[in-house]
Amino acid sequence: MTLTKEERRIFYNNKSWRNKRKEIKQRDNYECQRCKAQGKVNIDYYEKNKNDRKKIKLVVHHKKELEHYPKLALEDDNLETLCVECHNEIHGRNFKNWYQPKKKKWDDEFW
Ligand SMILES: [Zn+2]
Ligand SMILES: [Zn+2]
């Protein structure tokens, strides 16, 4: 079973995902788990302090992609907090694309 783009879009707009996303970021202490493993710390300042403009954007990543493992979509073990940079690397996409929302061709955990 795989999810269509539309099904995924619905999922990402779903309230249970929004709540879960918050929960996972809290669990991971607003740190990118990948950076942390490499001894770097990337904190989402935006979440911690809304007035800080130098924010690092964090995403909650599905280790097993939502598209192919919809049953694991809300499983804590399948979710981890990543910074946009690491998330990009994992998905093998060009960094710049993140900042061109109009040209964004896909809708992953970002929103
Ligand atoms: Zn990172
Ligand atoms: Zn991802």
pLDDT in tens, 36-85: 888 776 555 555 555 444 456 899 999 999 999 999 999 999 999 998 88
* Average pLDDT of the segment spanning 75-96: 85
At residue 79, φ and ψ (nearest 5 deg) are: -115, 140
Expressed in angstroms and rounded, the spacing between residue 51 Cα and the centre of ligand 2 is 27
* Average pLDDT of the segment spanning 87-110: 60
Is a pLDDT exceeding 70 seen at residue 103?
Answer: no
Amino acid at 26: Q
Task: Give CA separation, 91 vs 14, 18, 84, 110, in Å.
Answer: 23, 21, 10, 12
Report yes or no on whether pTM surpasses 0.95: no
Expressed in angstroms and rounded, the spacing between residue 62 Cα and the centre of ligand 2 is 5
Expressed in angstroms and rounded, the spacing between residue 1 Cα and the centre of ligand 1 is 30
Expressed in angstroms and rounded, the spacing between residue 33 Cα and the centre of ligand 1 is 7
What residue spans of 1-111 are helical by DSSP H?
5-13, 15-27, 33-37, 45-48, 84-91
At residue 41, φ and ψ (nearest 5 deg) are: -125, 125
Q: What angle, rounded to 10 degrees, do the helices at 15-27 and 5-13 form?
A: 70
